A and B are shown apart, each in its own frame.
Chain A
Amino acid sequence: MMNNGKPAITVRELTKNFDSFTAVNAIDFDVYHGEIFGFLGPNGSGKTTTIRMMLGLVEPSSGTIDVLGTRVNQGVGDIRPRLGYMSQRFSLYNDLSVLQNLQFYGKAYGLNKEAMEQRIGEALEMSGLVGRENTQTKELSGGWRQRLALSAAILHRPEVLFLDEPTAGVDPVSRRAFWDLLYKFVAEGITVFVTTHYMDEAEHCHRLAFIQRGMIIAYGSPEQIKHEKMQGQVLEISPSDSIKSIKVLREAQQEDRLQVEEIELYGSLVHIIAVDLEEKKLLVKEILGQADIDIEQMTIIEPSLEDVFIASMRD
């Protein structure tokens, strides 16, 4: 399900100063209805401040935020029931059971008895916790807790869901399950705004913004950003002796015989990042050959979004 072209969130010239420090600096972006929008940036880049402003918890110094057609600069007021929020350290009650936690949130959102029963049933089904209603929450593993937290955050059927690093430290299988769940919500029309440090997750957002030092430095679909931002390519080499390869290649780089951006070790593979790799392949072969290193395989691979992210943060 793709967006219908109408923004659910519009942010314009949004700025937040703390004393002389500008945490968020005149940023603009739109989040469309029914899309998953990824908000990425290094630690301390202004992500959390931005989310807090969007939730009406921190007042902007200047600029505007409109969520579901309402200006939220001074608080979300009437639209609060239409929003959902799950933070990195979600506040599930560890001493309560799975069922009790869901009931707690149901009551907090003011659901009536009938809606409560039905939604809790759906939440259990969705998070795969049927049959474990009476398990204490602290006994669930990280992945299960995240899914329970997500189910609780949407118990009141919000139209816009804010997720702040929802999968930090969760294993890959559980992360997949979490994203499958997220896509089910989106198919039902929920709009998702999510921050994450996992670039493979960012790769699966409809659109993204990269923020650095309070400013947006890239904005668009993952494909668009890759095309606009990535100058270099990645050459993957499978040499007979990878540690020796790194040493001789870096030596050549330091002596300016090999002009490349980066030389990195990936297990037993070597990655070289540079522009015009096709031309440099021969040189690399020569340098390794002189050191008696055999090359089993050498291919130019597509840069990942992570390569792009790191490259754009360095500019």
Chain B
Amino acid sequence: MSAIIETSGLSRLFKQNRAVDNLDLEIQPGELFGLVGPDGAGKTTTLRLLAGLLYVTEGSASVAGFDLRTQPESIKPQIGYMAQEFSLYAKLSVLENLRFFAELYNVSKTEQKERTERLLTFAGLTEFKERRAVHLSGGMQKKLALACTLIHQPPILLLDEPTTGVDPVSRREFWNILTELHLEGTTIIVSTPYMDEADRCSRVGLMYAGKLMVCDTPQNIRHQIEGELIEIFPDNWQAAHQIVSTIPGVLEVQTYGEALHLLVEDGENQLPKIETALKQEGIHINGARLAPKRMEEAFISLIRRIESEAEEIADE
């Protein structure tokens, strides 16, 4: 299968700042690809470049077989792009918003009727179709925005943090819709600050300072992190943090509020040793367990590794 999106040395500079730096990316048709990274890593710029909304400074890219630099107009019908601040028309109803985007993309009148009905059902908005967009909840607005993005039936979707600020119920509903699209074969690239969403993707790219640092399946990324995860809830996490950091076999310590997340060699054997060490220092433990590694721990561990390598280079 040949890639539906392919970039080679793709870069975008804003003045001296390389917002996207030498990006090589290959997305296969039907992938649900997650883009993660700290604020300012270049996720939004990447999506806007692929959507043809920004000029390419260096490198090349093809989207759905068209050259991003020379054929951007041919790419537009192939993609649906939902910006973070995607704007609906507040005073128009749900249905009117959908019709507006249908007109914009030259969807014929006969097709419009069929598609709007299908999308309203799909997004669970049928009973709200006469409601003005401004009176929808945040979660419903996002679903309407997605429906508008889908009106011209693009084979590729580019979604920039579509669930930020959305409550968990709406977020899950939104992801169920994405899963449906994924099952139908739509190619999706979605950026997100939620690591559980990254876990739901078929592949994940981690960006840092404009570069793609890691790109793999969620399982393989989790396996890149050495050790097993132990969660401990001590009564004095600050003191506990210092003690566990010195125990041999403890590879990494992450704090989360009052909880400590440790990456250790041989968790099964290590857990009782750690509990004993803490108790000897007079620290009470409210709970300790081996837990599966999640994308969240992997992300934090990878970012730390990248940052310390960056510092070493800067020191030399």
Contacts and interface: CB of A to CB of B under 8 A. Distances in A.
Interface of A: 2, 36, 41-45, 88, 141-143, 165, 168-174, 176, 179-180, 182-183, 187, 197-200, 204, 238, 243, 246-247, 264-269, 301, 304, 306, 309-310, 313
Contacts of A182: 257
Interface stretch (B54-62, B193-201, B274-282): B193-201
A78 to B, nearest CB: 32
Given A41-B167, A246-B183, A267 B199 contact: yes
> Which 7 A-B pairs give the minimum distances between C-beta atoms?
A204-B257, A42-B167, A141-B39, A169-B164, A267-B218, A43-B138, A142-B39
A169 to B, nearest CB: 4
Interface in B164-214: 164-172, 176, 179, 182-183, 193-196, 199-202
B169 A310 contact: yes
B241 to A, nearest CB: 10
Nearest to B171: A197
B238 interface: yes
A171 B217 contact: no
B134 interface: no
Interface stretch (B21-29, B66-74, B147-155, B292-300): B292-300
A168 B199 CA distance: 19
A170 B165 contact: no
22 contacts: A42-B139, A42-B170, A43-B170, A141-B39, A141-B40, A142-B39, A143-B38, A169-B165, A170-B39, A173-B299, A174-B38, A176-B255, A176-B256, A187-B238, A200-B296, A238-B219, A246-B179, A264-B179, A265-B200, A266-B200, A267-B200, A267-B202
A44 B296 contact: no
Given A172-B296, A172-B300, 7 more contacts: A142-B39, A174-B39, A200-B196, A204-B256, A238-B219, A267-B218, A267-B219
Nearest to B139: A43
A179 B256 contact: yes
B137 A43 contact: yes
B303 interface: yes
A173 B38 CA distance: 7
A306 B199 contact: no
Nearest to A36: B257
B37 interface: yes
Contacts of B40: 141
B81 to A, nearest CB: 19
B254 A176 contact: yes
Contacts of A173: 38, 299-300, 303
A176 B167 contact: no
B186 to A, nearest CB: 12
A301 B292 contact: yes
A306 B170 CA distance: 12
A36 B256 CA distance: 14
A65 B259 CA distance: 32
A268 B218 contact: yes
Contacts of A168: 164-165
Nearest to A296: B219
A264 B171 CA distance: 14
Contacts of B179: 246, 264-265
Nearest to A244: B183
